[in-house]
Structure 1
Amino acid sequence: MEPNPDHLRYAPTHEWVSEDDSELTVGITEFAQDQLGDVVYVSLPQPGAQFAAGDVCMFVESVKSASDIHMPVSGTILAVNTELEDSPELINQDAFGDGWIFKVAPDDDASLESLMDSFGYDASLDE
């Protein structure tokens, strides 16, 4: 399994967040995609939709099961990875790259400090 990149932040529900200026990119971790198995369908959120941190904002379906994806911080969906509509397996192939899921404009009070760094996330997987 690929190590969790140090520059990302992680939610306890296995989403990763990358910060780029005022925009956040969100995906699911290598651990999450491994637990799901082969991803066959992704229900993407609508751009413009607003969610609070922890809200279920979409789901991912695999050959094993369906899993809810939670919003890691409060904010508005800016864009979605439309490549996943035809190629949901990108999540399995490159969870931290081409398998990104959506981009978010975080609310003013949204804080990445509530998310774990890679060391904290790794430790949570060992529990």
Structure 2
Amino acid sequence: MSVPTHLHYSSEHEWVDGLSGVAKVGITDFAAEALGDIVFVQLPEEGTTLAAGDTCGEVESTKSVSELYAPAAGTVVAVNEAVVADPGLLNSDPFGAGWLYAVRIAQPPALMTAAAYEGYIGGAPVSEYAL
């Protein structure tokens, strides 16, 4: 399982590639593996204003349906239509072609570093890691 060190992570298993400006958002390899074969993705529309923690879409797999939560407050400026057309990109390339949407960040989010996220998915308390 991959946890790229240049990304920041939420406890809901989303990643963000920056803490200011415009940043891409996606789901982690851990989430994609847990979901299994992903068959449907619903994303927020461009122009949608999100607060951190807002429900902003869903991912459906052959196992279950999971909600997407905004890891950062801001305005959606782009949606990855390729992942809507081919949801399997979330399984095959969750940190690349499988990005979900881009958001213009309104305020820096409090997210985990890669080391903290690795501890989190490994069962260690998040408080032991730098956020």
Separation in structure 1 between the aligned mates of residue 20 and residue 10 of structure 2, nearest angstrom: 20
Paired position in structure 1 for 2:72: 73
Deviations 1:61-87 (A, max 9, x none): 000000011000111100000001221
Give the alignment of 1:1-127 within 5 angstroms.
Answer: 1=1, 3-19=2-18, 22-107=21-106, 110-112=107-109, 114-127=110-123
- Give yes or no for contact 2:44–2:76 (8 Å, CA) kept in 1: yes
The CA distance in 2 between the partners of 1:28 and 1:41, in whole Å, is: 14
**Partner SS for 2:117:** helix
Task: Provide the TM-score with structure 1 as the length reference.
Answer: 0.93
> Structure 1 CA distance, aligned partners of 2:105 and 2:20?
11
Ranges of 4+ aligned residues in structure 1 off by more than 2 Å = none
SS at 2:72's partner residue?
coil
1:20 Cα deviation (Å)?
Answer: 8.4
More displaced stretch, 26-35 vs 13-22: 13-22
Q: Residue type matched to 2:91 in 1?
A: N
* CA distances 1:30-69 after superposition (whole Å, capped 9, x unpaired): 0000000000000111000011000110000000000011
Percent sequence identity is 42
5+ residue gaps in structure 1? none
Alignment RMSD:
1.2
Question: How many residues are aligned here?
Answer: 123
Maintained 8 Å contact 2:83/2:97: no
Secondary structure of the residue that 1:19 maps to in structure 2? coil
Which stretch has the larger CA shift, 48-57 or 21-30? 21-30
Alignment partners' CA distance in 2, 1:20 and 1:29 = 17
